[in-house]
Structure 1
Amino acid sequence: MHVMPLLLLIAGSAAVAGAARRTPVPAPLLLVTVGLVVSYVPGVPEYALDPGVVLPLLLPPLLYTAATDSSYLDLRAQLRPVALLSVGYVLFATLTVGYVAHLVVPGLPLTAALVLGAVVAPPDAVAATAVARRVGLPSRITTILQGESLVNDATAITAYKVALAAAVGEGATWAGGVGEFLVAAVGGVGVGLVLMVPIHWLRTRLREALLQNTLSLLIPFVAYAVAEQVHASGVLAVVVVALYLGHRAYEVDFATRLQEGAVWKMVAFVLESAVFALIGLQLPVVLRGLGEYEGPRAAWYAVVVFLAVVASRFAWVYPATFLPRFFSARIREREDNPTWKAPFVIGWAGMRGVVSLAIAFSIPLTLHGGEGAFPERNMVLFLTFTTVIGTLVVQGLSLPPLIRLLRLPGRDPQAETLAEANAQAQASRAAEKRLADLLDDERNALPPPLADRLRAVLERRRNAVWERLGAVNPVTGETVDDTYRRLSREMIGAEREVFVRLRNGRYIDDEMLRTLLRRLDLEEAAAYRETAV
């Protein structure tokens, strides 16, 4: 891809994603729709997906950001449903969807149909995270969907390799497929376990935030490349490393965390926007090779495969939810009895994404040894594309109203604030004791105003959370905490204007201005708690 088309893709997708924030439509759906429309605008360059770019260059950072934002403890608590979906469901969907496609599409061999099944089997990490974040799913459902989407790509890629080997005539067997899956899974986890400790050690030893964040940007690519080099799963290696680093992020200094959070938010925003736009832009590339299948027949095949994908997920999710409880008294004792609603949402939330398209575009043109063309390759590409678009549009658009209709219990902001306040109170008591011990030492002697300032900052931090539970101002509708932050921002703004005026009058130079502004920025950041975007 040349520089100008790449810049147009990034700028255009970022603009559409930014506009989506002002609409009720989730950004992924608007990006796909705009991509579909723009793909037929005269003069728009052709954006053909290159699996050699998507898998090693786009997938690792997207997985890394999703995994570091996930909770290792929550994922461990939901290990059974995550494993059943990320491994069991992917294999089940590969067989089910592949067999249905073989029955419906004339001339599509079973081996090629299983390739299609493996390609469309995994729900997408980016789509699941983006939609779950927007619609406010209950935390347990969000954890399960995120955990599934982090691991299922490894299962799908391995299943695809086995099915592809059979389709092109390389003599793949079930035993060989199971062995390859085990090698990829165990190897990927092993590479992640080997890399995570030295990488974290290096992160904690680097003293400059700039160097630490440069390392942070390299980590997902290094983990993926090392694992793939030894024929293991690069996906699992990235996920293992990212979960470990995210779990121990508190051991890195504050400057790195602040900078790293901003850097990765920007990277994730740009990549996610470009990825969904690329999905829509694939339409001309996919339709060009359909040939004899153009028209109503191709649409019928697409509808049947889409329905098979949706139905196979429900056919797996409900038994996977209720059968373990039926057979295990321990599970019944430890877990609440689920209703039919949560599995229904999990079943309906299986959006596919760019990974499926990238894998599909990697299907070779010919069989092993060049003995003929790959059977119905263009049809497999078309059915993959329509399945991805169908799940993103149909399921993605209907998921928010479905959640409202089912009245699932969402996150309780008041309960979360109360938990935060209790945690802050415990931390404040420990800090007060530590401060008292330090001030008793003559080596730490401070003038009373400075010691009082330390106590006041601590008191402010403790009270700020409790104030969010209090009454609001009848005039402005603000809580006390909101009013404090607004007034703090106004005061800082006044200081900032003076500093700029002094710089413009040549009383201070630009270097001093930057120093003073950074100090104000840090104070403003401290006054404002971070909110989820």
Structure 2
Amino acid sequence: MNELVLFSVLTVAVLITAFARRRGLSSPLVIVILTSALSFLPFMPEVPIDPELVLTLVLPPLLYSSALNISVLSFRKNARDITMLGVVLVLVTAAAAGFMAYRMIPDMNWAAALLLGAIIAPPDAVSAASIGRKLNLPRRLMTVLLGESLINDATSLTLMKVALTLVSGTALTLTDDLGIFAVAVAVGLAIGLAIGQLYVWSRRWLNDPVIESLLGLLLPFFAYTGAEHFGGSGVLAVVAAGLLVGYHSPTFSYRTRLQDEPLWAAIDVLLEGMVFALIGLQLHSVTVTLFDSVRGVAVSTGTALAVLTTVILVRPAFIFAMYGLQVLTNLLRRRAPDETAPSDGKAAQAGPSLLTRSIMVLTPENSTSRRIAVRTKDTVRAFGSRQDPLNWRELLVLSWSGMRGVVTLAGALSIPATLSDGSRFPAHDMLVFTAFVVTVGTLLLQGLTLPVLIRWLGVEDATQGRRDRVARQRLLRTSLSEATRFVKKKEGTWRAKYGDEAVDRAVSSIESRLSRLEHQLDAAEQQSMTALTARHITDLRRQVLAARRDFLLRERERGAIDEEVMREVMHGLDAEELALDRSVTGGR
């Protein structure tokens, strides 16, 4: 892919995304549909997917950005569901789809069938998450979806490594397979946590938002390539680093956080748009290959659809079977006496996971992050609490959120057409075609119907924004009390060090600010009771901001103000409108 084609794809993807967001549509689905149609235009050049580009330059930043936004606490609390979906379900799906392909494709041996199963097993949560955010899916369900997407690619790529070794003729035992997997996990986690901790230390030392953001952009690529170089899982390395950095993010400079948030949001939109545009643009070339195949259109399509059906059905079967086992286990626990319970009658709490313990070990005892974790333990019991099983409606939505993405296509296209000895790769054409059908089929079939299913089942959590506002107001009031106590505690020390006049002015200023913030909270509570009035006030404030911007632009055009001064004042207006937006949307 040359540079002009690449940047053209990026531009088209961004424009389609803008159209979809303006219309309130799911941008991944709109991009796939429109680019699939564009691929048949006579002037459209062939745009092949470069597997190395996707796996090295696209996947790491997307995974890292998702990991930054996932709470370690929430990840730990849902670790059981995430592990079952991200590891066990991937293995089960690979086995089921591989068996179906092995039985229906005569020239595909069992090793190649397992490779195909590994390629099409991991779902991509990008499109599901984008639909879920628009429809206010419960936060826990979103955490499970995003958490699954963080680790299922690592499971799939490691299984692909084993299957490729088997296809090449190398005999492996079960111990060898488990050894490859264990090394990939251990090395990936170790390198990811080490790189993440180095980055955390560097941010505290640098105190330079621009350099810190640049290092943050390089981190996922360095973690991925470093882990892959030493035989580890690059995906797990990126995920571990992202979780660690996200956990320490509250201790960083607020300037860096304000800068990183829009930066990573823009990168996500750009890369996700490119990913789904590349998927859609493959339709024409795959269709041509299908018609040129000696297998015949009917046989090839029927086989691919059979594998697609298997992939779709395995997920709900596994999820509801897992749910049934959880319910049965909980019933048995309630009926059976707990012999392991402490003598004081309190329930024993499970310890933190390996990743969580590693993050806590790397956190200094006197750091802000450690204090945050300690203060939170009354709520989450030191990362040890387990949540009740999801209800059947949430499980049904989770079962239908198995859309595949670019990792599936990139994995299929990375398979060579010939083996190292020069022989033909078994059923290589069907491997690529089936991967494409599964990817596009799940995106369109499940992606188009998932919003309908969510609305029909009523899984939306429409009150989350209100609960967040209440919790935020409660937290602000608590912080006000803490600030007041801090000022009273330090006042004597300050007077001895700085003098009465300076302290009187400083204390008066602080108390005035605290009082204003208290009044703002009271006003916010009153406004929440009159939503219509609040919207009117918001509209008026937006109009005032727009008029002030117009005035700045007019003054600049007539040469009355300096360009740099105008930019600084404009930045202040932008920050004011950002605060206005967050007050309306509840900080989301």
Equivalent residue, structure 2, for 1:43:
43
Deviation for aligned residue 1:172: 3.2
Equivalent residue, structure 2, for 1:339:
391
Deviation for aligned residue 1:523: 3.6
Report Cα offsets for 1:181-216 as digits up to 9, x if no partner: 111011111111222211111112222211111111
Equivalent residue, structure 1, for 2:164:
164
1:248 and 2:300 matched: no
- Structure 2 vs 1, CA of residues 331 and 489 (structure 1 numbering), >3 Å: closer, same or farther? farther
Paired with 2:536 and 2:511, the residues of 1 have a C-alpha distance of 23
- Structure 2 vs 1, CA of residues 457 and 282 (structure 1 numbering), >3 Å: closer, same or farther? farther
> Which amino acid is the alignment partner of residue 329 of structure 2?
F
Equivalent residue, structure 1, for 2:517:
458
Question: Where in structure 2 are the equivalents of 1:113-512 lying within 5 Å?
Answer: 113-290=113-290, 291-327=293-329, 335-336=387-388, 338-370=390-422, 372-408=423-459, 410-412=461-463, 413-434=465-486, 441=495, 442=500, 443-446=502-505, 454-455=513-514, 457-463=516-522, 465-472=524-531, 477-479=532-534, 482-483=535-536, 485-512=538-565
Paired with 1:462 and 1:411, the residues of 2 have a C-alpha distance of 22
Could you tell me whether the CA contact under 8 Å between 2:102 and 2:113 is conserved in 1? yes
Paired with 2:140 and 2:27, the residues of 1 have a C-alpha distance of 23
Q: Point out the more displaced range, 173-182 or 458-467.
A: 458-467
> Which amino acid is the alignment partner of residue 575 of structure 2?
L
Deviation for aligned residue 1:251: 1.1
**Structure 1 gaps, min length 5:** none
Paired with 1:271 and 1:87, the residues of 2 have a C-alpha distance of 25
Paired with 2:113 and 2:158, the residues of 1 have a C-alpha distance of 16
Could you tell me whether the CA contact under 8 Å between 1:98 and 1:115 is conserved in 2? yes
Length-normalised TM-score, structure 1: 0.92
Report Cα offsets for 1:455-512 as digits up to 9, x if no partner: 454235533542453123xxxx232xx4554454444445444444444444432222
Paired with 1:122 and 1:266, the residues of 2 have a C-alpha distance of 25
Equivalent residue, structure 1, for 2:10:
10
Paired with 2:510 and 2:389, the residues of 1 have a C-alpha distance of 53
1:213 alignment partner, SS class: helix
Paired with 2:192 and 2:523, the residues of 1 have a C-alpha distance of 40
Report Cα offsets for 1:21-63 as digits up to 9, x if no partner: 2335311111111111111111212111111110010000000
Paired with 2:459 and 2:544, the residues of 1 have a C-alpha distance of 43
Paired with 2:272 and 2:209, the residues of 1 have a C-alpha distance of 25
Q: Point out the more displaced range, 358-367 or 294-303.
A: 294-303
Could you tell me whether the CA contact under 8 Å between 2:556 and 2:562 is conserved in 1? yes
Paired with 1:385 and 1:316, the residues of 2 have a C-alpha distance of 24
Identity %: 34
2:294 alignment partner, SS class: helix
Equivalent residue, structure 1, for 2:361:
none
Could you tell me whether the CA contact under 8 Å between 2:326 and 2:389 is conserved in 1? no
Q: Point out the more displaced range, 493-502 or 156-165.
A: 493-502
Could you tell me whether the CA contact under 8 Å between 2:102 and 2:110 is conserved in 1? yes
- Structure 2 vs 1, CA of residues 72 and 296 (structure 1 numbering), >3 Å: closer, same or farther? same
Across the aligned residues of Structure 1 and Structure 2, the Cα RMSD in angstroms comes to 2.5
**Structure 2 gaps, min length 5:** 335-346, 348-385
Deviation for aligned residue 1:94: 0.8
Could you tell me whether the CA contact under 8 Å between 1:67 and 1:150 is conserved in 2? yes
- Structure 2 vs 1, CA of residues 408 and 504 (structure 1 numbering), >3 Å: closer, same or farther? closer
> Which amino acid is the alignment partner of residue 39 of structure 2?
S
Report Cα offsets for 1:122-149 as digits up to 9, x if no partner: 0114233323223322222211111111
Equivalent residue, structure 1, for 2:371:
none
1:525 and 2:527 matched: no
- Structure 2 vs 1, CA of residues 31 and 491 (structure 1 numbering), >3 Å: closer, same or farther? closer
Could you tell me whether the CA contact under 8 Å between 1:168 and 1:367 is conserved in 2? yes
Length-normalised TM-score, structure 2: 0.84
- Structure 2 vs 1, CA of residues 275 and 517 (structure 1 numbering), >3 Å: closer, same or farther? same
Tell me how many residue pairs correspond in the alignment. 526
Could you tell me whether the CA contact under 8 Å between 2:320 and 2:395 is conserved in 1? yes
Report Cα offsets for 1:411-462 as digits up to 9, x if no partner: 5233332222222221222234445667774334439995675245423553
Q: Point out the more displaced range, 263-272 or 325-334.
A: 325-334
Q: Point out the more displaced range, 105-114 or 268-277.
A: 105-114
- Structure 2 vs 1, CA of residues 493 and 315 (structure 1 numbering), >3 Å: closer, same or farther? closer
Could you tell me whether the CA contact under 8 Å between 1:417 and 1:468 is conserved in 2? no
Paired with 2:77 and 2:520, the residues of 1 have a C-alpha distance of 31
